Amino acid sequence: MRRAAIVGTGAIATSHAEALRAAGDRVELVAVVDVDEQRATAFAQEWNVPRVHPGLATLLDVEELDVVHVCTPPRSHTPLALECLAANVNVLVEKPPAVSLSEIDTLIAAERGSTGRVATVFQHRFGPAAHRLRRLIADGVLGRSLVAKSDTLWYRDGAYFDVPWRGTWESEGGGPTMGHGIHQFDLMLSVLGPWQEIRAVAARQSRAVQTEDLSMALVTFADGTVASVINSVLSPRETSQLRFDFENATVEVEHLYGYTDAHWTVTSAPGHDDVVARWNEEQSTVVSSHGCQLAAFLDALDSDETPPVTLADTRTTMEFIAALYASAFTGTVVKAGQIGPDSPFYATMEGIGAPWANAR
Ligand SMILES: NC(=O)c1ccc[n+]([C@@H]2O[C@H](COP(=O)([O-])OP(=O)(O)OC[C@H]3O[C@@H](n4cnc5c(N)ncnc54)[C@H](O)[C@@H]3O)[C@@H](O)[C@H]2O)c1
């Protein structure tokens, strides 16, 4: 049986504990850590976790671990993951795994010198329908991808940003692009493959935050698909939507924080009814959740493969975010590969600074 620990026993740690429990005898949650030791102790009691440690250093010292789940606020993700890699322990880190492209590259370099691997939590890549969609594309059933859109229209009121780690470049690395829409456009990237260039706008419309509370982008993919991406925390009727128009069918999902097959629809183009039949060959009621990703993570460990989502895949998504901010704040088109160490958007997502900050 694999042995896991959780660092950071706040809100999302519950989803990790549920996923670990659902994995049955494949993995045991043996210890937890939180800077708030009382919170860690209460969490350990609730989830029957045998041990609470005062910090990650002690945890890594005392326990024999296969994986550390990093569930702390974004700023601490990379430092904690680096500590795990130094101890040759695998890490399953919550999104975003880093607050800059530079931090991602530090992780990639550290992973080369470790037997540990870093996987990022992007649980919506792992729902059954996402697997099916990628398979039908690979099999040529859907034809060429032409148009797509990713809408993350969520609502977060002012009180949501009272939590000290929310709403600043320093603590979160960005606004809804980095923290919310990331789920949807990461899934879009996992379906459509490499993106090529991006034109974006970001705005701070309403919330008392340093970062944007809205961003919009037009994206061209290497396969020629043109897509729009919206990331908002200002939208009272909340929805998470992806739409893909292929030559042979439109494939759509509309959900909020997790989808099952019931949230997907497939509409065939004239003469392509077979696409709907192929889609319906499999059916599932499984929710795209931490449980799906943990199962894939454990499968990879069992077969000696790099657990998903790998740092290379995560880098594509993080570079997309850096490029979105660079495009929005410079008013230019930004191409994949353009943001290297010399770019101001490499070390921080804020780059040259948001227009609303510079206007003050
Ligand atoms: N995958 C998803 O669907 C999803 C959903 C919500 C949040 N998240 C991500 O999960 C992360 C945590 O979010 P949350 O809402 O659970 O936050 P939270 O504030 O509820 O919990 C964070 C916990 O980490 C602890 N902590 C902070 N720094 C620490 C450190 N250095 N060492 C140990 N413990 C530390 C805090 O005391 C707190 O208990 C964020 O990165 C967030 O973006 C992911």
Distance of CA 73 from the midpoint of ligand 1 (Å)? 4
pLDDT tens figures, 98-131: 999 999 999 999 999 999 999 999 999 999 999 9
Which of 72, 92, 93 has most ligand 1 atoms within 8 Å of its beta carbon, as the pocket-test mutant? 72
Which amino acid, 322?
A
Average pLDDT of the residues of the chain: 97
- Whose tokens are 């260039």? That residue is 197
Atom 5 in ligand 1: residue holding the nearest Cα: 12
Q: Which of these, 279, 285, 284, lies nearest to 246 by C-alpha position?
A: 279
Could you count the other beta carbons within 10 Å of the beta carbon of residue 26?
16
Distance CA 118, CA 67 (A): 9
Question: What's the sign of the alpha-carbon dihedral 59, 65, 69, 74?
Answer: positive
Structure tokens at 107: 């992780």
Structure tokens at 169: 């470049």
Distance of CA 32 from the midpoint of ligand 1 (Å)? 13
pLDDT at residue 358, rounded to an integer:
73
Count the helix, strand and coil residues of the chain and give each as a percent rounded to the nearest 5: 40, 25, 35
- Whose tokens are 């996987």? That residue is 119
The mean per-residue pLDDT over the stretch 288-313 comes to: 98
Distance of CA 120 from the midpoint of ligand 1 (Å)? 14
Ligand 1 atom index nearest CA of 8: 24
pLDDT tens figures, 151-165: 999 999 999 999 999
Q: How far is C-alpha 116 from the geometric centre of its chain's CA atoms?
A: 20
The mean per-residue pLDDT over the stretch 187-208 comes to: 97
Distance of CA 164 from the midpoint of ligand 1 (Å)? 12
Cα 250 to Cα 138, 164, 272, 314: the distances in Å are 16, 42, 11, 27
pLDDT at residue 62, rounded to an integer:
97
Ligand 1 atom index nearest CA of 165: 19
Structure tokens at 294: 């943990």
The mean per-residue pLDDT over the stretch 246-274 comes to: 98
The mean per-residue pLDDT over the stretch 133-152 comes to: 98
Domains and CATH numbers, the chain: 2-123+293-309 (3.40.50.720), 124-288+318-335 (3.30.360.10)
Distance of CA 167 from the midpoint of ligand 1 (Å)? 14
